[in-house]
Structure 1
Amino acid sequence: MASNISGAPAGTTEVNREPFATGWTVFAACLMIFGGTMAVLEGIAAVVNDERFIIAGSYVFKFDTTGWGWVHIVLGLVIVAAGCVLFRGALWARILGVVVAGLNMIANFLWLPYYPFWAVVLIAIDVFVIWALTAGTHRPEHAV
């Protein structure tokens, strides 16, 4: 008699969802911890030495780099905390992760004139975090 992934007989509907239920969540949590740490470092760099940042070109939006540094530090710390809690699989951490990753994307978009490469990297990380948190927690059942 054939069996499915969980070892149950092929005629049953039981499917082992453990690897897929935790896989994308763990991926998102790792990216959140990494991206949040990078955001904190970005904020520290802006607060400590805000004269280093030079605006290349003329942009519609121009902000004080020290103020934006504190925004990046706070967002980064919230992202790291949500990423740590996400390892436990809490639904509220998943929702918070999507919200703060979206806010971090907006903050990094506004940060583009100051540090374009770093901002684009963090925007890409936030896109992957949102995708991983919203991709679903299980795989569909297929006929064997």
Structure 2
Amino acid sequence: MATQADRERVTGWVGWVWFGGIMLVTLGLFQAFQGLVALFDDEFTAAVGDRLIVVDLTTWGWVHVAMGALLVVAGAGVLGGTLWGRVLGSVVAALSLLAQLTILPVYPIWALIVIALDAVVIYALIVHGGEAAAV
């Protein structure tokens, strides 16, 4: 339960945290969708042969599905005002950002949009994350 002193610390920047939580859920759905497409369509990320990275596309698809699930869980945690949600969200958003670098040559617009959203989410959670617990 937030005390009166905690409520006084909350600024207008708390909206960034709510935005971050909603974006985590959205990015999680994007990642899961991207993973499912990689699982069912072998030519989705095949720029050079059937390997874009050092694992096969089925493994890469499952990595994206798992990352998407973690992002959705982290988003729920952030929207609930929990510390674990902010930590998990920051870490998985950073991993998502790195994962998008692997498909940047193949789908540059998609990758750049997700990279930008990941960066904004990381900023929101790290800089203003503490305010969410006070609400």
Question: TM class, shorter-chain normalised?
Answer: 0.7 to 0.9
* Runs of 4+ more than 6 Å apart: none
Is the contact between residue 100 and residue 114 of structure 2 (CA under 8 Å) also seen in structure 1? Answer: yes
Higher helix share: 2
Gapped regions of structure 1 (runs ≥ 5):
1-12, 139-144
5 Å-filtered alignment, 1:1-144, equals: 16-20=8-12, 22-55=14-47, 63-136=55-128, 137=130
Using a 3 Å threshold, how does the CA distance of structure 1 residues 62 and 119 change in structure 2: closer, same or farther? farther
Using a 3 Å threshold, how does the CA distance of structure 1 residues 15 and 107 change in structure 2: closer, same or farther? closer
- Whichever residue aligns with residue 134 of structure 1, its letter is I
- Whichever residue aligns with residue 15 of structure 2, its letter is G
Deviations 1:23-62 (A, max 9, x none): 2221110010111101110111110011243417xxx956
- Whichever residue aligns with residue 123 of structure 1, its letter is I
Note the C-alpha offset of 1:105: 0.9
Deviations 1:92-131 (A, max 9, x none): 1111111101111111111223332222211111101100
Q: Distance in 2 between matches of 1:117 and 1:67?
A: 23
Q: Distance in 2 between matches of 1:71 and 1:123?
A: 17
Query: What is the DSSP-based 3-state SS (H/G/I as helix, E as strand, rest coil) of the residue aligned with 1:114?
Result: coil
Greater relative contact order (Cα < 8 A, sep 6+): 2
Q: Distance in 2 between matches of 1:14 and 1:35?
A: 30
- Report sequence identity in percent: 36
Q: Distance in 2 between matches of 1:114 and 1:65?
A: 14
- Whichever residue aligns with residue 117 of structure 2, its letter is I
- Rg: which structure is higher? 1
TM-score by length of 1: 0.74
TM-score by length of 2: 0.78
> What value does the CA root-mean-square deviation take over the aligned residues?
2.7
- Whichever residue aligns with residue 111 of structure 1, its letter is I
